[in-house]
Amino acid sequence: MPCRSHPPGKELAPAEAHAGGDMPIIGAHVTGGIKGGVARALEIQAQALQIFVGSPQSWRPPNPSPAEVERFRASVAEHGLGPVFVHALYLVNLAAQKADVYEKSVEALANQLSWVDAVGAQGLIFHPGSAGTGSLEEARERVVLALEQVLDSYPGESKLLLETCAGQGATIGRRFADLAGILAALSFDARLGICVDTCHVFNAGYDLTTPEGLEAMVQELDDTVGLDRLCAIHANDSKTPLGAQVDRHENIGQGKIGEAAFARMLQHPAFADQPFILEVPGYDGAGPDLRNVQTLRRLAEPS
């Protein structure tokens, strides 16, 4: 089932305040995972949350107990939180040339997808990977084959969400057309979607700082991937300027994107009911915090 009902390719209305309409969901990547993630989300007043299940820097499969999983699901329901997303291991590289890394990546992604179902999350967000010194075309083919394996062995309906990249090195996903090509090669499987990271797309060359730049980005996204495939937005300002092709997150309004641009995104009709998930450094260096959540919430209100 698509994340959105907007049909791909439909002409979009210009950005405008959506008073009385759906409001974006403000969420955050929270520390603590299954054990402490809900408490942290409540502490910073996040409505939605993204967690790691296990260590993001280890190939070792996570092993939370059934009781821990049940407590997490019950707590999410009790406090009316959601949607919930799981972020895959940072080690996953479906474009890897090295056979051992490629095989571990496929296995890890499949394992993590099973945990998405277990914890009641909407989807698994992951970076497609990097071609390294190899051919980008061959790397994209490896990504497609890897996802085909994962989907063929997965009986559930949770989403696999390909995240946009900042364009550094030979990473896959700097342009929406790259991701659209992967989805098309997999016959637009209903379990596939994307996550747009604002810092990443800005560094990849999409100018979010002007109304015209935002409209062009939204239209290109709709014309290639389709807005119905957009399931989450990682809301991050950028330490580096437009097109720098560097992935350096900054607190909302403290970077090169700025508050005005985030206000336009939050109030854009294309994103009216999207979850905006913070992955910022935080003002105390401990990750997304109350101040960043409150900033996004303020910017979402029509002025």
Instruction: For 224-263, write each residue's pLDDT tens digit.
Output: 999 999 999 999 999 999 999 999 999 999 999 999 999 9
Is residue 134 predicted with pLDDT exceeding 90? no
Q: For residue 168, is it within any domain?
A: yes
pLDDT of residue 9: 39
Q: Which of the four pLDDT bands, split at 50, 70 and 90, describes residue 133?
A: confident
- Write down the mean pLDDT value for the chain: 92
pLDDT tens, residue by residue, 64-74: 999 999 999 99
pLDDT at 79 over 60: yes
Instruction: Give the residue from 177, 172, 173, 193 showing the smallest Cα distance to 96.
Output: 172
Confidence at residue 196, expressed as pLDDT on a 0 to 100 scale: 98
* pLDDT > 90: percent of the chain: 87
The residue behind tokens 């990249």 is 165
Is 264 in contact with 216 (CB distance < 8 Å)? no
- Residue 135, in any domain of the structure: yes
Question: CB neighbours of 45 closer than 8 A, spacing ≥ 6?
Answer: 290, 293, 294
Handedness of CA 13, 198, 59, 120 (dihedral sign): negative
Q: Is the pLDDT of residue 7 over 90?
A: no
Taking the C-alpha atoms of residue 139 and residue 157, their distance in angstroms, rounded to an integer, is: 26
Domain assignment present for 19: no
- Give how many domains the chain has, as a whole number: 1
Gap between the Cα atoms of 175 and 273, Å rounded: 23
* Domain presence at residue 6: no
pTM for the predicted model, two decimal places: 0.93
Specify the pLDDT at position 2. Answer: 57
* Residue 280 in this model has a pLDDT that exceeds 80: yes
Could you write out the DSSP letters of every residue in 120-141?
T-SEEEE---B-TTS-HHHHHH
Q: Please give the pLDDT value at position 127.
A: 96
Which pLDDT tens digit goes with each residue over 194-233? 999 999 999 999 999 999 999 999 999 999 999 999 999 9
Taking phi over 0 as left and psi of -120 to 50 as alpha, with beta for the rest, 271 belongs to: alpha
Instruction: Count CB-CB contacts under 10 A for residue 57.
Output: 9
**What average pLDDT score do residues 96-125 get?**
96
Q: Checking DSSP bridges between strand 123-126 and strand 84-87, what pairing results, if any?
A: parallel
In which residue are the tokens 């402490």 written? 36
> Would residue 70 count as lying in a domain?
yes
- What burial class does residue 22 get, using C-beta atoms within 10 Å of its C-beta: 0-12 exposed, 13-18 middle, 19+ buried? exposed
Tell me, yes or no, whether 5 lies in a domain: no
Cα-to-chain-centroid distance, residue 9:
22
Whole domain around residue 270: which residue ranges? 25-300
Q: Which one-letter DSSP state was computed for residue 270?
A: G
How open is the CA angle 250-93-257, to the nearest 5 degrees? 20
Tokens in use for 279?
Answer: 């992955």
pLDDT number for residue 169 = 86
Give the pLDDT of residue 23: 80
Question: Which of 175, 179, 163, 161 lies closest to 243 in space, CA to CA?
Answer: 175
Percent of the chain residues past pLDDT 70, beyond the cut? 93
CATH number for the domain including 178?
3.20.20.150
Residue 100: per-residue pLDDT: 96
Encoded tokens for 211: 């109304």
Q: What residues pair up with 235 in beta bridges, in sequence order? A: 278
Asked if the structure places residue 20 within a domain, the reply is no
The residue whose two tokens read 């939370």 is 64
State how far the Cα of 253 lies from the Cα of 236, in Å rounded to an integer. 9
**Cα 169 to Cα 132: distance, rounded to the nearest angstrom:** 7
Is the residue at 225 inside a domain? Answer: yes
CB distance 196 to 161 below 8 Å: no
CB neighbours of 181 closer than 8 A, spacing ≥ 6?
Answer: 140
